[in-house]
């Protein structure tokens, strides 16, 4: 009798587990089962867009559904991220996110439409250091040429960049402090529109990224790169540190989901991005364009965001940008 009761109890437990699993699967669905909207928060042709376009066909192959790239441009990325945090947390809306942008904006601005911690991190896949570039025919042949002119003509030198506050705007702020100059930063809605602005003579130079220095190498002259050591894709370009200026800055890019997105979905997406970002052809094309590919999953990426948040709070206070 006791044996029969035990068997019945075990049976009910097994049935309960099966029903619980079915309920979960019904709620979650056979994810993914329809197209995924991949929001890019900057202009077409910039780093975020270039990466997403390379990822798109590979993601579709891994996930088995269409991945639709859309654009929400404005506020240095803030418009797109504010849209993301309002989206349904079902895994069908994701967005590229950038560090330090997603940290600096909520710290400096009173209203951004999102908070850093609301972005549920999925995966970080690349890093690009800041690079100061001028046109190939610029009279400034070196960083010292540009800084000498800037010292004699405060505010006259203008450097364009992607967004504000951003890695580019912060790079200029650090340069101003380190070199004791007054260079004017001019924000654009992404990296892509900075190129015609420079070539058209609307700005003196750009505090851009390694990618722009590579893609437009026939038109641009890089003067210094803001990495700890010489960047592999730009081996002949000195670092700011080599030139006596402690300017180290750049952007890390990844992808995030709305708050409350189930961990099961986050993990599916993270695994998909990991497979894509370890594809040899993908890595080769990325490195050829000046990207440094990284592979950080949800936990590692989230911890990195938290660590950088504390670092940027300190930096902003030193620069007088945060009380």
Contacts of 62 (CB under 8 A, 6+ apart): 272, 275, 276
Rounded-to-integer distance, Cα 286 and Cα 52, Å: 11
In angstroms, the CA 220 to CA 195 distance is: 9
The CATH H-level superfamily of 129-250 is Periplasmic binding protein-like II (3.40.190.10)
Domain boundaries, the chain: 36-127+251-318, 129-250
- Cβ-Cβ contacts under 8 Å for 49 (sequence gap 6 or more): 40, 42, 43, 69, 71, 190, 192
pLDDT of residue 14: 39
DSSP 43: -
HSE-up of residue 41 (Cα within 13 Å, Cβ side): 27
CB atoms within 10 A of CB 4: 8
- CA torsion angle for 7, 9, 15, 17 (degrees, to 10)? -120
Residue 182 exposure: Cα atoms within 13 Å on the Cβ side = 5
Distance from the Cα of residue 319 to its chain's centroid: 23
Instruction: Look up the CATH superfamily of 36-127+251-318.
Output: Bordetella uptake gene, domain 1 (3.40.190.150)
CA–CA separation, 267 and 60 (whole Å)? 16
Helix (H) or strand (E) run with residue 128 in it: strand 120-135
pLDDT tens, per residue, the chain with 323 residues:
444 443 444 344 433 434 444 334 434 469 999 999 999 999 999 999 999 999 999 999 999 999 999 999 999 999 999 999 999 999 999 999 999 999 999 999 989 999 999 999 999 999 999 999 999 999 999 999 999 999 999 999 999 999 989 999 999 999 999 999 999 999 999 999 999 999 999 999 999 999 999 999 999 999 999 999 999 999 999 999 999 999 999 999 999 999 999 999 999 999 999 999 999 999 999 999 999 999 999 999 999 999 999 999 999 998 888 86
Rounded Cα distance between 292 and 182, Å, is 31
């Amino acid at each position: 009798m006791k044996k029969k009761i035990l068997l019945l109890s075990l049976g009910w437990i097994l049935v309960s587990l099966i029903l619980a699993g079915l309920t979960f699967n019904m709620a979650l669905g056979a994810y993914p089962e329809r197209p995924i909207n991949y929001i890019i928060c900057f202009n077409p042709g910039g780093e975020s867009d270039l990466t997403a376009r390379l990822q798109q066909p590979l993601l579709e192959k891994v996930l088995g559904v269409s991945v639709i790239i859309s654009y929400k441009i404005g506020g240095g990325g803030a418009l797109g991220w504010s849209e993301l945090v309002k989206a349904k947390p079902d895994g069908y809306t994701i967005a590229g996110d950038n560090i330090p942008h997603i940290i600096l904006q909520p710290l400096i601005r009173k209203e951004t439409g999102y908070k850093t911690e609301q972005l549920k991190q999925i995966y970080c896949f690349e890093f690009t250091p800041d690079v100061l570039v001028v046109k190939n025919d610029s009279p400034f042949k070196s960083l010292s040429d540009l800084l000498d002119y800037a010292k004699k003509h405060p505010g006259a030198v203008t450097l364009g960049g992607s967004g504000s506050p951003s890695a580019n705007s912060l790079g200029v702020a650090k340069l101003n402090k380190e070199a004791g100059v007054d260079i004017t930063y001019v924000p654009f809605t992404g990296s892509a529109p900075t190129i015609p602005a420079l070539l058209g003579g609307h700005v003196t130079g750009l505090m851009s990224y390694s990618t722009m220095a590579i893609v437009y190498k026939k038109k641009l002259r890089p003067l210094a790169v803001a990495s700890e050591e010489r960047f592999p894709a730009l081996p002949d370009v000195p670092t700011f540190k080599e030139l006596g200026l402690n300017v180290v800055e750049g952007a890390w890019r990844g992808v995030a989901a709305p708050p409350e997105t189930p961990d099961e979905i986050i993990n599916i997406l993270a695994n998909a991005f990991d497979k894509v970002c370890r594809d040899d052809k993908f890595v080769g094309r990325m490195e050829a364009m000046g990207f440094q590919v990284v592979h950080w999953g949800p936990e590692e990426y989230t911890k990195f965001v938290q660590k950088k948040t504390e670092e940027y709070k300190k930096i902003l206070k030193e620069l007088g940008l945060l009380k």
